[in-house]
């Protein structure tokens, strides 16, 4: 998924500088057994999963589009994307609706846990790893009550080419 050069860049540049600005409030959610955090200001709302219209010839993690009060909003299942957790859809399936600079996207996760305020002392650097999430989208790690929280730059991730949510020509 990611090349080593990209990772090196990410480590030397983005991840390091990202730490400085990563403090703030985070919405934490669960994917499999891992805790993730995204900036709370990017979150518009949280809703259940229903009536998704499938779209032809899309990667499996793009579930389709929903009608969010008259707006057509794509839904991405992060569990499929990162191959984490059990992929099933029932009344407990949660969709986090993100508002990324005006673009509205829904992500399916295993569950939403909490809103956390993170300060500088909570934050740790991301070590060099090969994971399903390119480390350039991870702004840092944090420890909260003995658990590791993975802080994701959700805007960067969702607008990246690999999510295939935007016409590649657009950016």
Partner 1 sequence: MTVDMSQFYEVFFDEAEELLAEAEHLLLSIDVESPDIEQLNAIFRAAHSIKGGAATFGFMDMAEITHVLENLLDKIRKNEMALTTEHVDAFLAAKDVIKMQVDGHRHGSEVNAEQVSDVAMMLKSLSEGNSAIPADPVIAASTPEPEVFVVATEKPALTITDEEKAKGITLYDVGLPQVTERDLTNLKDELALLGEVVAYQRGENAHALLVKTDSSADDIVSICSFIVDANALVIQVAGETAATTDSAPPETAPAEVTAEAATPAAEADLGYGFFDDDPIINAEATAADGKVKVAEEMGYGLFAENGKDQQEEGYGFFAPFKPHPDAPKAQMIGDDNAAEALTKAKEEVVAAPVAAAPAAQEERRNQSRRESDKPAATQNAESSSIRVGIEKVDQLINLVGELVITQAMIEQRVNALDPMDNEALINSVSQLTRNTRDLQESVMSIRMMPMDFVFSRFPRMVRDLAGKLGKKVDFVTSGATTELDKSLIERIVDPLTHLVRNSVDHGIEKPEVRKQMGKAENGTLTLSAAHKGGSIVIEVTDDGGGLNRDKILAKAASNGLPVNESMTDAEVYNLIFAPGFSTAEVVTDVSGRGVGMDVVKRNITAMGGNIEIRSALGYGTTISISLPLTLAILDGMSVSLDKSVYVVPLNLIVETLQPRAEDLKTVTGEGLMVHVRGEYLPIIALHALFNHPTQITNPTDGVLLILEADGKKSALFVDRLVGQQQVVIKSLETNFKRIPGVSGATIMGDGSVALILDVPAIIQMGQTTNYVTGGVAFSSQNYPTSKNHINA
Residue 103 as a binder of partner 1 (CB under 8 A): the answer is yes
Minimum separation from the CB atom of position 85 to partner 1 (A): 24
Comparing CB distances to partner 1, the nearer of 73 and 149 is 73
46 Cβ contact partners less than 8 Å away, ≥ 6 residues apart? 94, 95, 96, 97, 112
Comparing CB distances to partner 1, the nearer of 1 and 51 is 51
From candidates 60, 146, 161, 170, binder to partner 1 by CB under 8 A? 170
Looking only at residues 66 through 85 of this chain, which bind partner 1 when binding is defined by CB under 8 A? 66-67, 70-74
d(CA 167, CA 102): 16
Comparing CB distances to partner 1, the nearer of 41 and 72 is 72
Comparing CB distances to partner 1, the nearer of 52 and 141 is 52
Residue 58 as a binder of partner 1 (CB under 8 A): the answer is yes
Minimum separation from the CB atom of position 168 to partner 1 (A): 8
Looking only at residues 117 through 156 of this chain, which bind partner 1 when binding is defined by CB under 8 A? none
How many CB atoms are located within 10 Å of the residue 50 CB? Answer: 10
Q: Which residues bind partner 1 (CB under 8 A)?
A: 51, 53-58, 64-67, 70-74, 103-105, 164-167, 170
């Amino acid at each position: 998924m990611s090349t080593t050069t990209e990772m090196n860049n990410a480590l030397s540049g983005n991840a390091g500088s990202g730490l400085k600005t990563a403090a703030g409030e985070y919405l934490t959610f669960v994917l499999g057994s891992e805790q993730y955090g995204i900036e709370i200001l990017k979150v518009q709302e949280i809703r259940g999963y229903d009536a998704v219209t499938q779209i032809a010839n899309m990667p499996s993690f793009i579930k389709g589009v929903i009608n969010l009060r008259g707006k057509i909003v794509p839904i991405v299942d992060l569990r499929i994307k990162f191959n984490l957790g059990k992929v099933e859809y029932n009344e407990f399936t949660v969709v986090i609706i993100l508002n990324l600079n005006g673009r509205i996207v829904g992500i399916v996760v295993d569950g939403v846990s909490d809103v956390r305020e993170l300060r500088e002392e909570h934050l740790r650097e991301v070590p060099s790893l090969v994971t399903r999430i390119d480390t350039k989208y991870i702004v840092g790690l944090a420890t909260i009550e003995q658990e590791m929280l993975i802080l994701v730059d959700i805007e960067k991730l969702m607008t990246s080419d690999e999510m295939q949510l935007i016409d590649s020509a657009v950016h």
